[in-house]
């Protein structure tokens, strides 16, 4: 698998918002071989549609989350390389 994507409501835990009434963003994980390594690119698009009053908080929350996911994916790929 080299590409995985899904749509979701960013920062859907905000008690002031009803995510069902907001647009979703598109998250894409892409793996690419670069020389002797694997490059991971995580892209989340659609933040320009998130209501302005929630956008900065949602973006900061997601940015932290994707950084954590990148670490987990890196560990997984390292283990797969050892297998």
At residue 11, does pLDDT exceed 70? yes
pTM value is 0.79
> Whose CA is closest to 49, among 78, 79, 25?
25
Distance (Å, whole) CA 72 – CA 75: 5
DSSP letter for 16, please. Answer: T
Straight-line distance from the first to the last Cα atom of the chain, in angstroms, rounded to the nearest whole number: 17
Q: What is the mean pLDDT of the chain?
A: 87
Q: Which one is predicted more confidently, 81 or 45?
A: 45
Secondary structure element (H or E) that encloses residue 54, with its range: helix 52-82
């Amino acid at each position: 698998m080299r590409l995985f994507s899904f749509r979701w409501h960013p920062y859907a835990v905000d008690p002031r918002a009803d995510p069902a009434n907001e647009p979703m963003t598109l998250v894409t994980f892409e793996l690419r071989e670069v020389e002797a390594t694997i490059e991971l690119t995580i892209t989340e698009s659609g933040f320009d549609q998130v209501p302005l009053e929630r956008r900065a908080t949602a973006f900061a929350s997601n940015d932290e989350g994707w950084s954590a996911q990148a670490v987990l994916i890196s560990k997984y790929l390292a283990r797969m390389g050892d297998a």
